[in-house]
Amino acid sequence: MKIQAIAAILLLGFQINAQETDSLATKQVWSLQDCISYALENSIDVKQVALDKDGAEVNLTQSKYAKLPNLSSSASQNFSWGSSIDPITSDFVSQQIKSTNLGLNTSVTLYNGNQLNNAVKQNRLMVEQNELYVEEAKNNITLSILEAYLQILYNKESIEVAQNNLAASEQEVERAKARLDAGTIAMIDYTDALSQAATNKTNLITARNSYAQQIIVLKQLLELDPMVDLEIEPLENPLLEGQSVPNKMLVYQNAIGKMPEIKASELNTTINEKDLDIAKGGFLPTLSLTGSVGSGYTSTNDLGFTDQLDVNFNQRVGMSLTVPIFSRYQNKAQVATAKIGIEQSKLQLQSAKKELYQKIETAWQNAQSAQEQIEASKAASDAAEESYKLAQRKYELNALSTTDLVISQNTFTNAQLNYLQAKYLGILYNELLDFYQGNELKL
């Protein structure tokens, strides 16, 4: 009964965990943190890099065990005819021989230029490096999720703008039709209203398509099934106007010490230095300890099989010293290759720092530009809205042509979209600058 009770509890726990996973995967409204958490658990890119780390850990374990003695067993059955040496007694005989050999053999490397120890140290560094690669992959998927999420929010608000414009233009078409029937406007004014309504409908379709395409991008980042409905929540802490942009050199200095790609590049130099130590060990002697136990049976002896195994039992212990004298340039080539690898890794580190600075410089410039555009585009949007409202009142009083009303509406629409674009770009690049300093996303 106790076993059944324990099994029931475990089964219930598994079911609860499965239900939690399924509910998250089928959730229809996702926050930014939901998306990031789910992507980190399910991203193929992250899983692939994690498998590379597992492989590095296997290599580390193998290099540790390489320092231990090996052990192997052997067994052979031989038949010989004519004049030969008995493999068990070493007597010269001229008869048919049936012989059996049994043995255990072992050997251990006592010293080989410290190559085994350096291999362990190198593999341990490679495990650390792969852990940094996993962290880098998680950072990359996090930033990709952030960008896709903000793009969806921008597209979603663009749909609202397009819907409002379409509704306004359809009302204008109705008013224009009534005036055309009353003879107060010309046919061209009515067709201009129809044209603007058709254009706004096309803009709405385009905005919806852009939104749907970006939803697909986010689903792929989340590794979700295409049939899963996905809707995202608006941001709880939108960008505040007037938010200051951090100093780019301060961001860069913080990023140098915290970004995993920089740490991984620094470790790469240390790993290559271990390659050099291993290569230098090739010039030094190798000292090994060997041992074996064995026994055998031969048909030339009158004793039985078991008795012969007891009589012929033997043990052997030995040491071997190998001194490299001429390796056909192999050791020198390995040392030279290791030195080249060190220099290449130093250049790669400089390149990684350069690339990081370029990313920060770009984000900083865009954040600065977006901050200025937010203020300017917000003012332009407010002014264009007032102008459009005024144009609508004039149009109702027959004091404005349909063409001028259409121009005013388009100006207002463009101003709204410019403000939305500046707002979400500002959010994106300010978050990037914060993220490069090792801080979590605050949205």
**pLDDT for the residue 242:** 58
Report the CATH number of the 26-78+105-285+323-436 domain: 1.20.1600.10
> Quick one: average pLDDT of 43-60?
97
Compare 241 and 185 and report the one with higher pLDDT: 185
> Quick one: average pLDDT of 6-10?
43
> Quick one: average pLDDT of 395-417?
90
pLDDT tens digits for range 270-318: 999 999 999 999 999 999 999 999 988 887 787 888 888 888 889 999 9
Per-residue pLDDT at 181 exceeds 70? yes
Q: Minimal CA–CA distance to 70: which of 287, 291, 285?
A: 291
Cβ atoms 288, 320 nearer than 8 A: yes
> 294: which 2 tokens?
């064995």
Min mean pLDDT across 349-353, 394-398, 424-428 is at: 394-398
Min mean pLDDT across 116-130, 143-157, 372-386 is at: 372-386
Q: Are strands 97-111 and 70-80 parallel, antiparallel or unpaired?
A: antiparallel
> Quick one: average pLDDT of 51-59?
97
Per-residue pLDDT at 380 exceeds 70? yes
Q: Are strands 92-94 and 83-85 parallel, antiparallel or unpaired?
A: antiparallel
**pLDDT for the residue 239:** 57
Please report where in the chains the tokens 């950072």 appear, as a residue.
139
**pLDDT for the residue 249:** 94
**pLDDT for the residue 238:** 64
**pLDDT for the residue 179:** 85
Q: What is the pTM of this model?
A: 0.85
Q: Over the chain, what is the mean pLDDT?
A: 89
Q: pLDDT confidence of 26, banded at 50, 70, 90?
A: low
Q: Minimal CA–CA distance to 92: which of 101, 107, 104, 80?
A: 80
CA distance 235 to 286: 65
Which backbone phi and psi does 270 adopt, to 5 degrees? -65, -40
Per-residue pLDDT at 121 exceeds 70? yes
